[in-house]
Structure 1
């Protein structure tokens, strides 16, 4: 038995360890649900499954690949959660998916592609973040979920009068009643992007129990 095969495979999983650690460090730095250890285990595990699928030689290798993708889908779904009207964890879920793909690429000895894609991932995580923040600052439309104390019959008219006074376009998307409280979903467009004025209005309004954007 050629022992060099084992050294080669050990080098593959070691490389997968490094790639997973590099991606995981960024998630760990930002205190995300899937951090350093998770990304390492995903990359190394995907690489190992790919190596084993080639060694068994039974059936089609793409069956192992498809099962890896299915399993990673369950992990990715676990880090996505909805908070108010916002959905968080999509970037982490996408990173889990691509980290598994990188581990599979290493398992198939496709090192050049692994390095290129890893570089793209790091660019997307570090370089493009300021660009995304700049684009977000240009957004003229925001969705507000406003939870009022009891029904607060005068709140809706006062809020919409505030919008009109500040030349803001708005649309009441939905009104819901929860127990004795009311929840309003508004889509607001501010021409000068002065959403702090809205926040201050809601913070000072005694009829507002809570709100989020």
Structure 2
């Protein structure tokens, strides 16, 4: 029995543990559905499956099954809140964490390290860049429900947007029971959305709105 093989495999899953922990810390810090322990288990599990697939000479089949299984887990953390979709970043991280575990399982440590560094940069270093961009340009969808048909509402809202130099488009107008519902897509610097919310809160014809 060559114990060196077992020590090598133990080192592989240990490396997967560390990489999963690094990525999981960021998700845990933001209180996301798939956090610290989940990312560790995903990375270690993918690494283990890859090691076993090499030993059984069925690496292609098991690798494809890992990708399929991770797809189901990723889909589970994506959810719709109002008209917004949340969890896409977490789902993408689950996907790349599994890939990192597989890379370690195939002894591709340099690639795993490079991709881990890229992921950490995207999560931590580039976040201020994204916030800076949002200060100048951010797209939001508003679903506005009126109390009644709102005869003058659309004209007043369009005038408000034009007065505040906001790019906007009315995507859909529907009638639900006796109420009119407008779906607007707005493009504007982040600071202007407080004014939009205040306008809608004060408007007497607005029954509710979602962002």
TM-score normalised by the chain length of structure 2? 0.90
Q: Which residue of 2 aligns with 1:51?
A: 51
The aligned runs of 1:132-147 (5 Å cut-off) are 132-139=130-137, 141-147=139-145
Alignment of 1:51-200 (within 5 A): 51-57=51-57, 60-139=58-137, 141-190=139-188, 194-200=192-198
CA contact (8 A) 1:20 1:42 kept: yes
Following TM superposition, by how much is the alpha carbon of 1:98 offset from its aligned partner in structure 2, in angstroms? 0.5
Q: TM-score, normalised by structure 1?
A: 0.90
5+ residue gaps in structure 1?
A: none
Question: Which position in structure 2 is the counterpart of 1:40?
Answer: 40
Task: Name the CA distance, whole Å, in 1 between partners of 2:145 and 2:187.
Answer: 20
Q: 2:139, 2:165 → 1: CA distance?
A: 13
TM-superposed deviation, 1:178? 2.4
Q: Post-superposition shift, 1:126?
A: 0.2
Q: Deviations over 1:5-62 (max 9, x none)?
A: 22221221111111111110100000111101110110011001001111112xx411
Stretch deviating more after TM superposition (182-191 or 63-72) = 182-191
User: Partners in 1 of 2:105 and 2:63 — Cα distance?
Assistant: 11
Q: C-alpha distance in 2, partners of 1:11/1:47?
A: 11
Distance 1:10 1:176, change over 3 A: same
Aligned CA RMSD, in angstroms, stands at: 2.1
Alpha-carbon deviation of 1:202?
A: 0.6
Q: After TM superposition, list the pairs within 5 Å mapping 1:10-49 onto structure 2.
A: 10-49=10-49
Q: Which moved more, 1:79-88 or 1:159-168?
A: 159-168
Query: 1:134 and 1:108, CA in 2 relative to 1: closer, same or farther beyond 3 A?
Result: same
Q: Residues 156 and 63 from structure 1, CA distance in 2 versus in 1: closer, same or farther, beyond 3 angstroms?
A: same
| Unmatched segments (≥5 aa) in structure 2 | none
3-state SS, counterpart of residue 126 of structure 2: helix
CA shift, 1:169, in A, is: 4.4
